[in-house]
A and B are shown apart, each in its own frame.
Chain A
Amino acid sequence: MSSDDSVQRIERGAAFLDVRDLKVHFPTDDGLVKSVDGISFQLERGKTLGIVGESGSGKSVTSLSIMGLHKRGVAQISGQVFLDGQELVSSTPDEVRLLRGKRMAMIFQDPLSAMHPFYTVGQQIIEAYRVHNKVSKQVARKHAIEMLDRVGIPQPDKRVDAYPHQFSGGMRQRAMIAMALSCDPDLLIADEPTTALDVTVQAQILDLIRDLQREFNSAVIIITHDLGVVAELADDIQVMYAGRAIEYGTAEEIFESPQHPYTWGLLGSMPRIDRERTERLIPIKGTPPSLINVPKGCAFNPRCNYAHLNGGASETDRPELLDVGAGHKVACHLSPGERAKAWETDIKPKL
């Protein structure tokens, strides 16, 4: 134990949450699925990181591995995750279990399947609270009612005894948020928290997450495929493609001066409600790659319109995520000049 402590004192991670070269691989009969293949990021308290990408880009796997929710033996996890100085990947399941709920909590995409249908909403919140706090059932119940009230559920003293199926989609998501926040976690991971919801409810939930973050000063990771949602919430954005981060920057940088052709493609594919209507959308050609058979070199090269400018490097060398100035990082072979030119002439006028 003592030797472990001394090791941890040396490696404590720089930020509140410090992820270094995280890899999550799943061996399957068809081959090794490299769901997450080396990503690193840092997150401070009170800040929000948005992780954006299409399905299969590894965004959910990243969050599940931070939470320690992958079954050991099934997933091969390497790299380091420091939460407030404690390394999580090498910790035992029991150690991580003590942190889960208390120090880090998660909001799942589909609240109907994430909640237990057999127990009332109140029972589930009480259980989570009592695992981490030595209090009587009555006190925990009072706390659960308070939390439900906080997230805006009407008549919380009655609804606390309702089952998940008696709630509507939006209310269920609120109940999930109440459960996640019941122990004041320092890190909150929201995995597509509003994808299953209608726009008006989505707006309510996003406002709620923002208000609660301000109140608890927690670090938030929001995972989504909707660029509109991250623009509203995130301070920093990481764009993922085929298990790797391809661009990282502040929200302003990603939306005002994106550098990677994939980010351009994402922005061009989206119909915008706040701009003049364009005649045609500009889709990204092709389909996302299979994670068993990721294209050689830059994983995006078969779909990239600029791959030919790199003299073959796109097909052979994998570009590293490099700083292009002021913390804005891009993994692309294009030279800064070519990138600026393509953005100014080809992409920006069409958005």
Chain B
Amino acid sequence: MTVSTEEIDPTAVPGVVEPAIGEELLSVNGLVKHFPIRKGLLQRQVGAVQAVDGLTFNVTRGETLSLVGESGCGKTTTGRLLTRLLEPTSGEIVFEGRNISHLSEGKMRPLRRDVQMIFQDPYGSLNPRHTVGKIVGAPYRLQKVQTEHGVKRAVQELLELVGLSPEHYNRYPHEFSGGQRQRIGIARTLALRPKLIVADEPVSALDVSIQAQVVNLLEDLQKEFDLTYVMIAHDLSVVRHVSDRVAVMYLGKIVELADRVSLYEKPMHPYTVALLSAVPVPDTKRKGNVQRIRLEGDVPSPINPPPACRFHTRCWKAQDICKTTEPPLLQLAPGHQAACHFPENQPGDKPVTPAASEAS
């Protein structure tokens, strides 16, 4: 299916060369976002929620990178920083070689064509007073994009693309089910042919049977339009299905970053090991003989995170060094980074030397 939006410039920002498949599209360096907590009459800052605290990763064109972690680990904040719905406290976001960390709203606007977001809640992200046509056509209007056969045609083609019928043009969001609404959201996201899509829990609000439909749709669209996804999710089975690489976050930091196969087969960070063992498996034979790692307690507050390794309060391998020295995110195997003093699944199971020798 062809959508008549060829007249949209391939790159919204003039003078930028589009990276080829497999080249770096987005790179993030030392990204930090602290939300200040203000108190009292003078609204003095008394502390900060350290939602995101030093992330470094990159995303190559055409891949799917997933951010996983428990609630409160900063994955949604990261997504909002990447789309610049929030401004980072410090650190750099480089998109197509251009630093966008502190661009003004006006300068950011042309870039919005290239970076789009899919939201978690299909009920909250669509304006109930607008028709589907108006919702999906909004990006064209806002970006003043001229389409070949008019906006209505373009919108109807988009609707067909995501598996809705073009007759839905004049309907309102409340007439649709959750899965269909999520499709409307996806159609809107695709309108301007973005390069990078940040999908914040795109399927977690949907029923299992519908979830599979939407996951398949996202994969088809990726193949068809060479899309790059940053997927934010907490369901580890879905993440394994969709991602090329996975970053595990804990309290605002990446604790492990690896390609899908090595992360799921040889997780190195104890937190990842615990997360994976906690996933309920639909297999009755495993019942009773599962060696499950039970993490005690809850995630600590990001207002006052534990010093050094943030996981040491819940880690069964924690030793004194974990309370004093923060483990850096090191490459422990090809394409596999982990931030731990005593990683799992190591050849010979010996502790990693650099950080340990530093402390001694």
User: A residues engaging B (CB < 8 A)?
Assistant: 54-55, 154, 168-171, 198-204, 206-207, 225-232, 251-252, 255-256, 265-274, 277-278, 280-285, 287-288
Contact = CB atoms under 8 A, between A and B. Distances in A.
A256 B276 contact: no
A207 B234 CA distance: 20
A256 B292 CA distance: 23
A273 B210 contact: no
Q: Is the interface of B mostly helix, strand, loop or mixed?
A: helix
Given A198-B70, A202-B280, A277 B240 contact: yes
B172 interface: no
Nearest to B261: A277
A230 B284 CA distance: 9
A52 B274 CA distance: 26
Given A198-B71, A270-B237, A273-B240, A203 B292 contact: yes
A228 B71 contact: no
A280 B212 CA distance: 9
A234 to B, nearest CB: 9
A201 B236 CA distance: 14
Contact of B208 (A201, A207, A269): A269
Given A200-B274, A201-B298, A203-B294, A280 B219 contact: yes
A273 B292 contact: no
B209 A256 contact: no
Interface string B232-245: 00101110110000
A225 B207 contact: yes
A54 B208 contact: yes
A283 B210 contact: yes
A200 B275 contact: yes
A272 B298 contact: no
B167 to A, nearest CB: 16
Interface in B229-262: 234, 236-238, 240-241, 260
Contact of A281 (B216, B264, B297): B216
Interface string B311-337: 000000000000000000000000000
Kindly name the residue among A228, A265, A269 whose own CB sees the greatest number of chain B CB atoms within 10 A: A269
Nearest to A282: B212
Contacts of B70: 198-201
Contacts of B48: none
Nearest to A201: B298
A281 B212 contact: yes
B241 A277 contact: yes
Contacts of B275: 199-200
Given A204-B294, A283-B210, A255 B282 contact: yes
A172 to B, nearest CB: 11
A199 B212 contact: no
A270 B219 CA distance: 15
A96 to B, nearest CB: 31
Given A256-B284, A272-B281, A283-B211, 20 more contacts: A54-B207, A54-B210, A55-B207, A198-B299, A199-B279, A201-B298, A203-B277, A203-B278, A206-B280, A231-B287, A265-B209, A270-B208, A271-B215, A271-B238, A277-B240, A281-B212, A282-B212, A283-B210, A287-B179, A288-B209
29 contacts: A170-B298, A198-B71, A198-B234, A199-B278, A200-B70, A200-B274, A200-B275, A201-B298, A206-B280, A207-B294, A228-B281, A231-B287, A252-B284, A265-B209, A266-B208, A271-B241, A272-B237, A272-B281, A272-B282, A280-B216, A280-B219, A281-B212, A281-B216, A281-B241, A285-B213, A287-B179, A287-B180, A287-B210, A288-B177
A203 B297 CA distance: 12
B279 A228 contact: yes
The 7 closest A-B pairs by CB, nearest first: A228-B280, A283-B212, A269-B212, A271-B241, A203-B278, A281-B212, A284-B209
Contacts of A202: 278, 280
B349 interface: no
B130 to A, nearest CB: 22
Contacts of B241: 271, 277-278, 281
Given A200-B70, A207-B294, A271-B238, A287 B280 contact: no
Contact of B280 (A55, A231, A285): A231
B295 interface: yes
B212 A255 contact: no
Contacts of A232: 280-281, 287
B230 to A, nearest CB: 19
B283 A274 contact: yes
Given A199-B234, A281-B216, A283-B216, A274 B240 contact: no
A280 B215 CA distance: 9
A55 B209 CA distance: 11
B286 interface: yes
Kindly name the residue among A168, A228, A230, A287 whose own CB sees the greatest number of chain B CB atoms within 10 A: A287
Given A228-B281, A231-B284, A273 B212 contact: no
Contact of B284 (A199, A226, A251, A277): A251
